[in-house]
Chain A
Amino acid sequence: MAADSALTNGADSQRLRWKYLDRILSRPGPFTDPDWEPGEAVIEGLSRAKILVIGAGGLGCEILKNLALSGFKDIHVIDMDTIDVSNLNRQFLFRHADVGKYKADVAARFVEKRVKGVKITPYCGKIQDKDEDYYMQFAMVVCGLDSIEARRWINATLVGLFNEEDPDSLKPLIDGGTEGFKGQARVVFPTMTSCIECQLDMHAPRAAVPLCTLATIPRQPQHCIEWAHIIAWEEERKDITLDTDDPEHITWLFQKALKRAQEFNISGVTYSMTQGVVKNIIPAIASTNAIVAASCCNEAFKLATNSNPFLGIPETDNYMMYTGDESIYTYTFQHIKKPDCPVCGNLAKNLEVDSKSTLQEFIDSLAERPEAQLKKPTIRTEAKSLYYQSPPALEEQTRPNLSKKLSELVSDGEEVAIQDPAFQIAFKFKLVFKK
């Protein structure tokens, strides 16, 4: 049997650790694809697969541990945060002595020490520091983030990475998220299935209390803290940028909130509640993190090995939601890709242009393009507003660009986004200069 050869191949007792895993990868099961060939190649493939984990917090600790215990051997992890004492209750890769150190570093060393043969490469910084070449090296990306902004960024990056001529440029994105007793795991095949941006409305907006309630009739301790945060700070310390990691700032807000709570006979304002409200800390439940991370890692394992059908296969379910706050409920469904998604709806196409032609000439040529006759285009690059049809003030300000040469406005290969009132979605072109 193939499993035996895998065992003897390594020829060491280390392989015994993976005995049951190897068994799954060495013979077909009832759900495996008939074309799948189990055996050593699959086992090899898993240990060679380079996988990126974004986030080394509550979810990240679970994900790193699970991936390492599932046979992944080349794991990279990015996190910009350092360890806070309040993380220790659930971020189990960290100890008291680690407080103040980078999460990615400490998590990587811990898992490497516990699971022999695993290599974990940490990067302590922002995902935005890295370019397309960096993301290109991975087989897939697993996210355990608490920021929607960061998710949107990596999603747009992976969609932008995709190139039809290169199978390796398709990077599956596995995303886990939790909020208290609720969570979700989802898989995105960039450009093929519904992406994070398509699913933006699945994120519940942060529950906010009307401003006038905060200003006039606070009823809860949190209202007093929000008042201090939004109104009192602006009134009294306008010139100081609020830093939610600065204890002096939190203390100031706490004192303000406490005083206001006393005025309205509200009890319960504490320093840690102030910190929680101001930093928008959502109570993390360790078990929810464990459930969601486990689901993400199972999908990663199945994706890397093809051993069983996984979430996100086009035209099938791609989203698993979990709710544990009222008994327990899970629901798995297919979130449909949005044709007008600003990220995956229209991919940038190359467009050859004469760098000496003017913006006006370029705009005129757009009206004649066969696939979309853009008659009233508004057009920009990431850095510049090239021409806006409206509002009138912006039209006037950008009008002088019409007589400029393209070479003065964009660089060779730069992306422009074009919005036209006749279309719901923006068109994106990379302007390639004619040689």
Chain B
Amino acid sequence: MLKIWSMKQKQQQDESAATGPKKKKVTAAQLRVQKDLSELSLGSTMKTDFPNPDDILNFTLTIEPDEGMYKGGRFNFNFAINQNFPHDPPKVKCTQKIYHPNIDLEGNVCLNILREDWKPVLNLNAVIVGLQFLFLEPNASDPLNKEAAEDLKSNREGFKRNVRSAMGGGAVKGQSYERVLK
């Protein structure tokens, strides 16, 4: 142990470490989210909302696709990040009931990097890019809303019509959806 200490003294840089009153320190998860937020590129189609600005681990992301079948809609996702981030992925849920093959009626999202393919090197930007992509390219092979996936697979034009009516607050096959038009 003492040997280690003398090595430390050799290693010592010119900086002096802080001492003083003991206060809560910014957590590793907060540091990482802070970094991720500073690297977020939201463009013109996305914005964030922080219900409590002091709490950066919980916020809402709004996506307004400017192309594709979901153009004209406004979609809200709740982000809940725990203190084990980035080991654990953020928990992301759609807060509206929408018609989408990869999002179920409870708002669960089937996006590989939110679950099976999450790695600590991925950041929040990767997640929002992934979410945005879901609206440009809904994917029938990873279905969470089975009906919507079937529609997309069998009849793309019919699917598009269903998207429009669901976004307007209409019903598709007896299931009513929330109005999400801007």
Assuming the A-B contacts A212-B110, A306-B3, are A390 and B40 also in contact, with contact meaning beta carbons closer than 8 angstroms in the complex? yes
- In the complex, chain A residues 213-232 whose Cβ is within 8 Å of any chain B Cβ: 215-216, 230-231
- Verify if A268 is at the interface (C-beta below 8 Å from B): no
Report chain B residues within 8 Å CB of A378.
34, 37-38
Report chain A residues within 8 Å CB of B50.
385, 393-394, 397
- Verify if B56 is at the interface (C-beta below 8 Å from A): yes
- Verify if B42 is at the interface (C-beta below 8 Å from A): yes
A417 near B26 with CB under 8 A, answer: yes
B119 near A201 with CB under 8 A, answer: yes
A162 to B8, CA, bound (A): 11
Question: Pick the contact of B115 from A35, A211, A234 — CB < 8 Å?
Answer: A211
A156 to B15, CA, bound (A): 19
A406-421 Cβ-contact flags toward B at 8 Å (1 or 0): 0000011111110101
Query: Which stretch of B139-147, B157-165, B166-174 is in the interface?
Result: B139-147
A385 near B108 with CB under 8 A, answer: no
- Verify if A366 is at the interface (C-beta below 8 Å from B): no
Report chain A residues within 8 Å CB of B7.
192, 313-314
Taking the nearest CB of chain A, how far is it from the CB of B67, in angstroms?
A: 22
Report chain A residues within 8 Å CB of B116.
207-210
- Verify if A343 is at the interface (C-beta below 8 Å from B): yes
- In the complex, chain A residues 401-435 whose Cβ is within 8 Å of any chain B Cβ: 411-417, 419, 421, 426, 428-430, 432
Query: Which stretch of B70-78, B80-88, B130-138 is in the interface?
Result: B80-88
- Verify if A380 is at the interface (C-beta below 8 Å from B): yes
B25-43 Cβ-contact flags toward A at 8 Å (1 or 0): 1111011101101111010
Assuming the A-B contacts A234-B108, A393-B49, are A148 and B87 also in contact, with contact meaning beta carbons closer than 8 angstroms in the complex? yes
A197 to B87, CA, bound (A): 10
Assuming the A-B contacts A192-B7, A201-B120, A380-B34, are A349 and B53 also in contact, with contact meaning beta carbons closer than 8 angstroms in the complex? no
Taking the nearest CB of chain A, how far is it from the CB of B53, in angstroms?
A: 4
- In the complex, chain A residues 125-144 whose Cβ is within 8 Å of any chain B Cβ: 131-133, 139
Count chain A residues whose beta carbon lies closer than 8 angstroms to a beta carbon of B: 79
B106-129 Cβ-contact flags toward A at 8 Å (1 or 0): 101110100110111100000000
Assuming the A-B contacts A347-B18, A419-B38, are A152 and B26 also in contact, with contact meaning beta carbons closer than 8 angstroms in the complex? no
- Verify if B12 is at the interface (C-beta below 8 Å from A): yes
- Verify if B182 is at the interface (C-beta below 8 Å from A): no
Taking the nearest CB of chain B, how far is it from the CB of A414, in angstroms?
A: 5
A170 to B27, CA, bound (A): 20
Question: Pick the contact of B20 from A152, A167, A207, A350 — CB < 8 Å?
Answer: A350
B16 near A350 with CB under 8 A, answer: yes
Question: Pick the contact of B24 from A152, A167, A210, A382 — CB < 8 Å?
Answer: A382
- Verify if A391 is at the interface (C-beta below 8 Å from B): yes
A429 to B18, CA, bound (A): 8
Taking the nearest CB of chain A, how far is it from the CB of B135, in angstroms?
A: 17
A144-161 Cβ-contact flags toward B at 8 Å (1 or 0): 000011001000100010
Determine chain B's interface SS by DSSP, over half rule: loop
A221 to B159, CA, bound (A): 33
B17 near A162 with CB under 8 A, answer: yes
A152 near B84 with CB under 8 A, answer: yes
A428 to B5, CA, bound (A): 24
Report chain A residues within 8 Å CB of B34.
378, 380, 417, 419, 426
- Verify if B64 is at the interface (C-beta below 8 Å from A): no
Report chain A residues within 8 Å CB of B18.
163, 347-350, 415, 429-430
Chain A residues proximal to chain B, CB less than 8 Å:
33, 35, 131-133, 139, 148-149, 152, 156, 160, 162-165, 167, 170, 172, 189, 191-192, 197, 200-201, 203, 205, 207-212, 215-216, 230-231, 234-235, 303-304, 306, 313-314, 342-343, 347-350, 378, 380-385, 388-394, 397-398, 411-417, 419, 421, 426, 428-430, 432
Other than the given A306-B2, A348-B25, 11 more pairs (CB < 8 A) read A149-B87, A172-B1, A205-B120, A209-B116, A313-B7, A350-B20, A378-B37, A391-B47, A394-B50, A415-B25, A416-B26
Q: Nearest 6 CB-CB pairs, A to B?
A: A413-B21, A417-B26, A382-B24, A397-B53, A212-B142, A342-B31
Would you mind naming 15 contact pairs between A and B with Cβ atoms under 8 Å apart? A149-B84, A152-B28, A170-B4, A189-B8, A191-B8, A192-B7, A200-B87, A201-B121, A203-B87, A306-B1, A313-B7, A378-B34, A385-B53, A385-B56, A388-B56
